[in-house]
């Protein structure tokens, strides 16, 4: 039985380029591969026929002999099915495509863009209540002059001279032929001979971009808000990365945050501490009254329920813990000093007004006596 013309087998013209022959071979071989057509003798024969045709037409010397003498020109050189098969091509191009490997052209270099990070400083009130704010970040956007091609207006990228537009080059390593990304075009398959004057061939320019960030209530320092798709653009058609907004809460002049609780110090006069009273104290929701009982000591904690922070993921609202600090009066007048001296004398004579002081000095006296004994 006479053999079919090799060009007809692959479905290409006689003046087809090497890239066109390779592309056609992939298509035919994938269509008739035995793994895709089990128990189909006809498909197996067509697969072998495609291999035979590609072995000849992908080799410049064999193809020249075939073009001049037909099948007779290559039969003695291993053509006709009995010669050496290029297993590197078969494994790399056919099996790789069948089982999902992205080979050849720009597809093998499709990559997601890099993620970016932005530090957002917030006041405590903004972090607790939530807010919406605007941020400005540098961003790579498509060049309007060349519409992203990277080439000067009126020109266009051309096939890479190293890989002939395939995006990969073949390296022979012993028995196998290994493909790798073309070093000249970085896998794009294209070269820019006349680059755009605006973006200098990159296809994109850097601009400032304004984004709206919605901050949920309850965030704290270290929390992150992800803005999907606002990172660096992907390469060769890949998706853009994400922008991570890192929250940093500024120190507050009144409150200190501890998880879902807030802490603050309240200075009171020694008169209020001794006699008791009522104070107005601030919270993040406004002012509230706090009753100070008589004989309050420094360090006394007052807990105001549900005046703290509601967690960002929901849950019980924290408390506001107020620590009392008794303040010693300063800049006393002569009369004030006289009254305090009188009070001191009365307190010393009557005793029992300073139990902690009395207990402490009793302990000191006992300690000293034991040292002397």
The CATH code of the domain at 256-327 is 2.60.260.20
Q: Which CATH superfamily is domain 6-101 in?
A: DnaJ domain (1.10.287.110)
Highest mean pLDDT among 5-14, 76-85, 101-110, 150-159: 5-14
- Nearest CA to 285 out of 310, 253, 313, 314 is that of 310
φ, ψ for residue 85 (rounded to 5)? Answer: -95, 145
Domain 110-153+197-250, second-level architecture: Sandwich (2.60)
Q: How far apart are CA 120 and CA 126, in angstroms?
A: 11
Stated as kind and residue range, the H or E segment containing 170 is: strand 168-173
Q: How far apart are CA 299 and CA 290, in angstroms?
A: 15
Find the mean pLDDT for residues 11-28: 89
> What per-residue confidence (pLDDT) applies to 358?
67
Does pLDDT of 107 surpass 60? Answer: no
> What per-residue confidence (pLDDT) applies to 87?
39
Sign of the alpha-carbon torsion through 190, 196, 202, 203? negative
Q: How far apart are CA 135 and CA 122, in angstroms?
A: 12
> What per-residue confidence (pLDDT) applies to 235?
64
Q: How far apart are CA 29 and CA 44, in angstroms?
A: 10
Q: Please give the share of the chain, as a percent, with pLDDT higher than 90.
A: 32
Beginning with the edge strand found earlier in the chain, give each strand of the sheet holding 116-122 in spatial order.
116-122, 243-249, 224-227
pTM of the model: 0.56
Confidence of residue 306 (pLDDT cuts 50, 70, 90): very high
Q: Spell out the residues 6+ positions from residue 325 whose beta carbon is closer than 8 angstroms to its own.
A: 265, 266, 267, 268, 298, 299
Does pLDDT of 227 surpass 90? Answer: yes
**6-101 and 110-153+197-250: same fold?**
no
Locate the domains of the chain by residue range.
6-101, 110-153+197-250, 158-191, 256-327, 336-372
How is residue 188 written in tokens? 């794009």
Highest mean pLDDT among 12-21, 85-94, 120-129: 120-129
Q: Are 130 and 216 in contact (CB under 8 A)?
A: yes
Does pLDDT of 91 surpass 50? Answer: no
> What per-residue confidence (pLDDT) applies to 85?
40
> Bigger pLDDT: 23 or 89?
23
> What per-residue confidence (pLDDT) applies to 78?
41
């Amino acid at each position: 039985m006479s053999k079919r013309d090799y060009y007809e087998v692959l479905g290409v013209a006689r003046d087809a380029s090497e890239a066109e022959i390779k592309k056609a071979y992939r298509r035919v071989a994938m269509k008739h591969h035995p793994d895709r057509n089990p128990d189909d003798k006809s498909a197996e024969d067509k697969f072998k026929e495609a291999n035979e045709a590609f072995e000849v037409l992908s080799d410049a010397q064999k193809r020249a002999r075939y073009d001049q003498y037909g099948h007779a020109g290559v039969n003695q050189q291993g053509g006709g099915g009995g010669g050496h098969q290029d297993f590197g091509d078969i494994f790399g191009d056919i099996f790789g495509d069948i089982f999902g490997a992205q080979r050849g052209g720009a597809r093998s270099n499709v990559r997601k863009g890099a993620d970016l990070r932005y530090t957002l400083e917030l006041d405590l009130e903004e972090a607790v209540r939530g807010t919406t704010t605007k941020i400005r970040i540098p961003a790579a956007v498509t060049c309007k002059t060349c519409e992203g091609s990277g080439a000067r207006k009126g020109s266009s990228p051309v096939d890479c001279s190293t890989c002939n537009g395939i995006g990969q080059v073949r390296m022979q390593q012993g028995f196998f032929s290994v493909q790798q990304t073309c070093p000249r075009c970085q896998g794009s398959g294209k070269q820019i001979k006349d680059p755009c004057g605006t973006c200098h061939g990159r296809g994109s320019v850097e601009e400032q971009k304004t984004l709206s960030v919605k901050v949920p209530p309850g965030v704290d320092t270290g929390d992150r808000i992800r803005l999907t798709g606002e990172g660096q653009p992907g390469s060769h058609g890949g998706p853009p990365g994400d922008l991570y907004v890192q929250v940093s809460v500024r120190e507050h002049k009144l409150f200190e945050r501890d998880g879902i609780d807030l802490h603050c110090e309240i200075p009171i006069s020694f008169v209020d501490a001794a006699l008791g009273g009522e104070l107005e104290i601030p919270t993040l929701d406004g002012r509230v009254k706090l009753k100070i009982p008589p004989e309050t000591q420094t360090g006394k904690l007052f807990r105001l329920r549900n005046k703290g922070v509601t967690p960002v993921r929901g849950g019980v609202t924290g408390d506001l813990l107020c620590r009392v600090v008794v303040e010693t009066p300063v800049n006393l007048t002569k009369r004030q000093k006289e009254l305090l001296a009188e009070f001191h004398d009365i307190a010393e004579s009557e005793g029992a007004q300073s139990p902690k002081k009395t207990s402490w000095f009793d302990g000191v006296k006992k300690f000293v006596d034991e040292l002397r004994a």
